[in-house]
Amino acid sequence: MSISWGAQYPKLKTNLRLAINRLKLMGKKKTEMAMKARTEIADYISANKADRARIRVEHIIREDYLVEAFEILEMYCDLLLARFGLIEQMKTLDDGIAEAVISIMWAAPRLATDIAEFKTISDQLTIKYGKPFAEAARANQLEFPAKVSPKLISKLSVSAPPKVLVERFAVLSCIVLGFV
């Protein structure tokens, strides 16, 4: 076992690439599952099981939000790869990558089961920028101009989607599938 005193840049770069691939794969998989679930919603509605349909719609909306969060995180990983020189050369966090770094560190524990590479990425960024910074980023309590992306926070929120959105989604699913 070797002792490492600093961030391992090749490991970070590799895991950023792997995370991008996994984010794309998971996004595609969840999108396909949501498309299949839309027919279930129409079936529940036609069988007068509105409550069951509503629950299913809420689940699909949450999955859609998760796919959107994956797209945001994929963009941030791409940004870090494109500006990797800033990570390697700068001792402090550059403003050009701050939101990406902070958002990835915030999302890492929330998505660790789906995107395993985020743990390694977060660990390497913690080594690079320090444990106090990492803890503040994970809690979104940084005294830094950049914060966790508000859009990412809303997409990964555990609160139920608005009732109006759920009802519109159910109606649109039925219309698209020709059940109305």
CATH classification at residue 18: 1.20.1260.60
**Cα separation, 73 vs 113, whole angstroms:** 15
| CA–CA separation, 163 and 58 (whole Å) | 9
Whether 3 is in a domain gets the answer no
Q: What is the pLDDT of residues 7-62, one digit of tens each?
A: 799 999 999 999 999 999 999 999 999 888 877 877 887 788 878 888 888 888 88
- The residue range of the domain holding 163 is 9-177
Name the band, by pLDDT with cuts 50, 70 and 90, for residue 1. very low
What percent of the chain lies above the pLDDT cut of 70?
87
Q: Is residue 125 part of a domain?
A: yes
Q: Is 170 helix (H, G, I), strand (E, B) or coil?
A: helix
Count of domains for the chain: 1
Considering the domain boundaries, does residue 2 fall inside one? no
Whether 16 is in a domain gets the answer yes
Query: What is residue 7's three-state secondary structure?
Result: coil
This prediction's pTM: 0.86
103 falls within a domain:
yes
